[in-house]
Structure 1
Amino acid sequence: MASTSMPPKRRGSASGFRAYVAKRLRAGRQILNVVCQRCTLRNASGALRCAACDAALANWTCWTCTLINTPAADCCAACETPRKSAQARPLHSSVPYSDANSVVLSPQLDLAPRASLVFLHGFCNTAEMYSESEVFTLFRCQGLRVILPTAPLQRITAHGGQKQNAWYDYLTDHDGAQEDDIDDGSLHATRRRLNMIVDAEAALMGEHRKVLLGGASQGCCAAFDAFARHPARLGGFVGFVGHPLKTTPLQSSLQRDVPCFFFNAAADDTMRTQWVLPAIRRLAAAGWTRVNVEVADGADHGTSDELENHWMDSFLAQFFASL
C-alpha cells in the first residue's frame, strides 16, 4: 500500500494541459492550428482538407492496429494498411449497444477509440457528475471512449424507503463504521446491465481486454462486483473511495491477473480505511496478483477534482502504455 499526498499543479503539467484542452473544447475551438504538412499552408480552423493542395489535415487512426498516423501518410506506418481501405471506415459506421440512461464521451480530436472505460458515479448522484469533468480529458485526446451510466431511482431500505439514484439497495446504515448489508437482487440487476454495456463495448473495440471498468464510492463497489464476475478477461479496473463487496466472489474470477487500482482517502468517514483496506487486502489472499492501493493523506470521501484527475491519470497511463 502506498500513501500519497496531492502533487502541486505545475505549469506545463498534465493537469495544466487537461484544463487547457477542456477549456478550448468547451468553446468549440481547435486545439492546434491546422497547418498542411504537404504544402505548409495555414488553413482555417476546422478545415479537414488543405485549400491549396487538397491534402488531408487531420491525423488518422488505423483500424487494423489503432496506430495514430500523420495526415500525409497514405498507409499505416506500422502494418501498412491503406488509409482508404475498407478497414479504415469512419467511426460512425460502427453503432454499439446504446444504454438508454448513459452519457457517452467520444474520443477528442476525431480519434478512433482505442479503449473504452465504463465508469459508475456514487450513491445519490447521476452521470452528469462526470459528464463535464476534466478527469477523462487527457486520455480522450489519446483515443479513450467513456461510458457513464446513471443508476436507477430505487427505494433505499436503510433510509426509510426514500428513492435515490443507487446501484443497489442498502439494508443497513452503519454510518461508515463498517460495511453495510445490501440487497443482492438490485446488485444483480446492475451487474446484468453492466455486462451488456461491457460486451457491446468489447464488440466495438474488437476484444474485451480493451474495456475497462471503474467507479466512485458505491459505484466503485458495484463496478468491481461486475468486473470480478465477468466471464471474459477485461483490461483493468479503477476505483475511487470504494472497496470489494463482501458478497463478491474472488477466488473464481478471471480477473485475478488483471491490473486493479484502488484509490482511497485517509480521512474518509463514509468508507473508513480501518475496514476498507482489509477488504481490499482480501484480493491478495484470493490470488489476485496485480492490485495497486494508494491512500491520499488529508483527503476525505468528498475528493477534489484535482485528486481524481491525478488518480485517473495514474491508472490510464499504465493501461495505455500496455496497448
Structure 2
Amino acid sequence: MAVVVLAGVLAYGYLSMDLLGLVSSLDKRHMVGRASAPPAKAPIQDPGTYNMNPSPKDISNAKFTSVVLDATTKHTATVIFLHGFGDSGAGWAPVGEQFSRYLPHVKFVFPNAPPLAITAHGGTLTPAWFDLYTPEIAYKMVFDEKRMLLSRQKVMDIINEEIEQNKIPADRIVIGGFSQGCVLGLLIGLTSEQKLAGIIGLSGHIPLPEKIMDLATEANRKTPIFYGHGDSDLVVKYEHGKQSVQLLKDNKYNVQFQTYPHLDHSANDQELRDILAFLLEVIPKVTPGMAKM
C-alpha cells in the first residue's frame, strides 16, 4: 500500500486518540521539586581528550535494560527511543505499540536510564541519562560530560547489537529521544561513525553546543533529522530548540523543524502523527527489489 507524506503530515491512517492522554503527562516529573531545590554549584569540568569509546571498565552497569517491542512481521528496521528525565522506557512503549500497527517490520527498543543522584535536586536518586547541575535548563549549560559519554556508549552497544546479532544495517536504525533523551539521542546521532536511517529529537536541545561540531562525524550529515518542539515549553525553552536547529542548519544538516503551537513540555497527537510519517519515510517496509538485506 502506498504511503503519501505531505509537509510532514501523514496522509494515511490515523493514531488512536488514547495517545493524547498518554503523552500529555510524559516527563512532567522533570519539573517536580524545582522551586524548592537548593542551588548547586557545578563541579569543575576538565573534559581533556574526549574518549568517544570508553573501555568497559569505565562503564558502570555495563548494559541498559530496555522495554522491547518486537516486529510483528519480518524484522527489517529498528527504532531506539530514549525517554526523558525521571521517566522510563515503559513511559513511551505504548506509543511504540500504536506505531507498530503501521510499522509491523520495525522493532522498538525503549532503554531505561539508571537512577542517578541528581545534584540539582539535592542528590535525589532519579532515572537520568546524565546528572543535572542546576535546576534551569539552558542552551549553553555545564553538562555532565563524563556520564553523557558513558550513556552514549551504552546506547551505541544497543545499536551495535542490532547490527551484529540481528543483522539490521545501520541505515535501517533510527535513534531518537524526548527532553534529556533528545540531548543524548542527538549526541549519538551526530557522533556516530555509522550512517543511520534517521534521528528524532523532541522537546530537547543540542548537546555541548560549543563543542559538538568538533565531535561530530560526517556519517550523518545528510541523515534526515526530525526535530519537534512546543512553543509553550517552560522546561526546555522553545528558544533553545530553535537555537539547536539553527546550529544544525548552519552546519548543513538535513533537519526538519516542526513547531507545535501552545504545546508545553510534552508531545501531542499532531506531533506523533508527524513522527510516524517521518518513520514511514526513512524506514519503509522492505519489498523485493529494494532490499539489500
TM-score, normalisation: structure 2: 0.72
Contact 1:170 1:180 in 2 (8 A): no
Deviation for aligned residue 1:180: 3.5
What corresponds to 2:188 in structure 1? 226
What corresponds to 2:204 in structure 1? 242
Q: How many residues align?
A: 232
User: Is 2:161 the counterpart of 1:200?
Assistant: yes
The amino acid across from 1:300 in the alignment is: D
What corresponds to 2:152 in structure 1? 191
Deviation per residue, 1:48-95 (Å, 9 max, x gap): xxxxxxxxxxxxxxxxxxxxxxxxxxxxxxxxxxxxxxxxxxxxxxxx
Q: Paired residue for 1:140, among 93, 103, 111?
A: 103
Q: Any idea what SS the aligned residue of 1:139 has?
A: coil
Q: Distance in 2 between matches of 1:213 and 1:303?
A: 17
Q: Any idea what SS the aligned residue of 1:250 has?
A: helix
User: Is 2:196 the counterpart of 1:268?
Assistant: no
Deviation for aligned residue 1:179: 4.6
What corresponds to 2:262 in structure 1? 298
What corresponds to 2:13 in structure 1? 13
Deviation for aligned residue 1:276: 2.0
Q: What is the aligned-residue identity percentage?
A: 23
After TM superposition, the structure 1 stretch with the greater mean CA deviation from structure 2, 257-266 or 240-249, is: 240-249
Deviation for aligned residue 1:322: 8.7
Q: Any idea what SS the aligned residue of 1:231 has?
A: coil
Q: Distance in 1 between matches of 2:90 and 2:244?
A: 29
Deviation for aligned residue 1:286: 1.8
The amino acid across from 2:167 in the alignment is: M
Deviation for aligned residue 1:278: 1.2
Contact 1:241 1:265 in 2 (8 A): yes
Q: Distance in 1 between matches of 2:94 and 2:227?
A: 23
Q: Which has the higher contact order (CA 8 A, sep 6+)?
A: 2
Contact 1:246 1:279 in 2 (8 A): no
What corresponds to 1:287 in structure 2? 252
What corresponds to 1:319 in structure 2? 282
What corresponds to 1:182 in structure 2? 143
Contact 1:209 1:233 in 2 (8 A): yes
Deviation for aligned residue 1:135: 4.6
What corresponds to 1:37 in structure 2? none
What corresponds to 1:25 in structure 2? none
For structure 1, the 5+ residue unaligned runs are 1-6, 20-97
Greater Rg, structure 1 or structure 2? 1
Contact 1:216 1:240 in 2 (8 A): yes
Q: Distance in 1 between matches of 2:119 and 2:125?
A: 9
User: Is 2:272 the counterpart of 1:309?
Assistant: yes
The amino acid across from 1:241 in the alignment is: S
Q: Distance in 2 between matches of 1:179 and 1:164?
A: 23
Deviation for aligned residue 1:280: 1.7
Q: Distance in 2 between matches of 1:170 and 1:280?
A: 22
Q: Any idea what SS the aligned residue of 2:283 has?
A: helix
Q: Distance in 2 between matches of 1:211 and 1:191?
A: 16
Supply the RMSD in Å over aligned alpha carbons: 2.8
Q: Distance in 2 between matches of 1:103 and 1:238?
A: 18
For structure 2, the 5+ residue unaligned runs are 1-8, 20-61, 287-293
The amino acid across from 1:245 in the alignment is: P
User: Is 2:129 the counterpart of 1:164?
Assistant: no
Deviation for aligned residue 1:321: 4.3
Q: Distance in 1 between matches of 2:17 and 2:263?
A: 24
Contact 1:263 1:295 in 2 (8 A): yes
